[in-house]
Amino acid sequence: MMRARHSVRDYTGIPLTERQKDALRAAIAAAKSPFGGTVDIHIVTAGDAGTFSPTTYGMIRGARDFMLLGIGPDRNSLLSAGYIAERAVLEATAMGLGTCWMSGTFSKAEFSKAADFTAGAPLTVVIAMGVPAARKSFVARAAGFLAGSDGRKPYGDLFHNTDGTPYVDDGSPVAEALEMMRLAPSGVNSQPWRAIVTGDSTVRFFAKAKKPTAFIDMGIGLSHFMLAAGARGLDGTLAAEKPQPAAPAPDLEYIVTFSPA
Ligand SMILES: Cc1cc2nc3c(=O)[nH]c(=O)nc-3n(C[C@H](O)[C@H](O)[C@H](O)COP(=O)(O)O)c2cc1C
């Protein structure tokens, strides 16, 4: 599902079924973020009596269903939002649905009318979901191009050994889990995920965080990492080390460490 997922900006207009929405809610409920914080997720359908008219500035066409994310302003809430909601995105992908995370190209005022958000966790991100239209519209192709969707940074630019040399994808469980992180979605395809791998599969994660949404991207990438590691039998936990490990570059911020069980 992580390999199959890509951002879809063109939909057929067919709304999700109740069963599909229940499956998404179950994925959200099952996702246990290690970061805590405040995340308030609503699944809403446009066009139902008394609901809202989604405004995405023409970026998304034909979507009827949206996941709305109310997120606390702190780093842990942003990390958790990415970590939890991406599980629903992958569940949607498994059901053959398209998705597109959006932190910029939607009207907050309009979408905020669609649900009651927990105090202190205002609407920050929406995720469009639905049956993908067969052909990509010009707008969708241009949006994908502008967002750099087709480009991913090379593996060795993101992940390193403790001596600073590029970590090589040797097909091991930790290497595959990092590859799944590399394929995650991120705002304007900024790919803020960085990691240093030690010999025993301990992985220290850092973010190149130019904007707060980079922490959402980090949560998404860590969600991929943990799912992929678990699927390959590499169990372990994510926790912050104290004292905090030094960042390998001044523009990187330490996030968390994966310790194998
Ligand atoms: C937190 C976040 C915010 C995003 N915001 C937008 C957005 O406002 N508008 C948009 O068209 N795409 C948005 N995207 C989608 C990214 O552009 C896309 O994930 C990235 O270019 C990689 O392409 P892919 O998802 O097809 O792999 C966002 C993605 C994330 C994770």
Q: Please tell me if the CB atom of residue 6 comes closer than 6 angstroms to any atom of ligand 1.
A: yes
Cα–Cα distance for residue pair 17/93, rounded to 1 Å: 15
Check pocket membership of 103 for ligand 1, CB cut-off 6 A: yes
**CA–centroid distance, residue 98 to ligand 1 (Å):** 13
For the stretch 138-148, pLDDT in tens is 776 777 666 65
Give the Cα separation of 257 and 238 in Å (integer): 5
Is residue 98's pLDDT more than 90?
A: yes
pLDDT mean over 213-221:
98
Which pLDDT score is estimated for 107? 93
Is there a domain that residue 40 lies in? Answer: yes
Do residue 186 and residue 101 come from a single domain? no
Whichever domain contains 196, its CATH number is 3.40.109.30
Q: Summarize the confidence of residues 134-160 as an average pLDDT.
A: 78
Please indicate, yes or no, if residue 9 is contained in any of the structural domains: no
Residue 13 resides in a domain: no
Residue 217 Cβ inside 6 Å of ligand 1? The answer reads yes
* Atom 19 in ligand 1: residue holding the nearest Cα: 185
- Mean pLDDT of the 167-174 span: 94
Domain count for the chain, please give it: 2
Which residue range is the domain that position 234 belongs to?
A: 155-260
Q: Are 228 and 176 in contact (CB under 8 A)?
A: yes
pLDDT, tens digit, for every residue of 5-34?
A: 999 999 999 999 999 999 999 999 999 999
Instruction: Examine residue 15 and say whether the peptide bond preceding it is cis (omega within 30 degrees of 0).
Output: no
User: In this structure, is residue 11 part of a structural domain?
Assistant: no
Per residue in 100-115, pLDDT tens?
A: 999 999 999 999 999 9
Q: Can you give the pLDDT at residue 147?
A: 63
Q: CB under 8 Å, gap of 24 or more: what pairs does 102-106 form? A: 102/56, 102/59, 102/60, 102/126, 102/127, 102/128, 103/187, 103/213, 103/216, 104/187, 105/56, 105/57, 105/59, 105/60, 105/143, 106/54, 106/55, 106/56, 106/57, 106/59, 106/60
* Mean model confidence pLDDT for the chain: 94
Residue written as token pair 């991207």: 217
Question: Is 169 part of any domain?
Answer: yes
Centre of ligand 1 from the C-alpha of residue 150, in Å: 11
Question: Could you tell which of 3, 100, 123, 136 is best to mutate to test the pocket of ligand 1, judged by most ligand atoms within 8 Å of the CB?
Answer: 100
Give the per-residue pLDDT at 50.
63
35 and 136 share a domain? yes
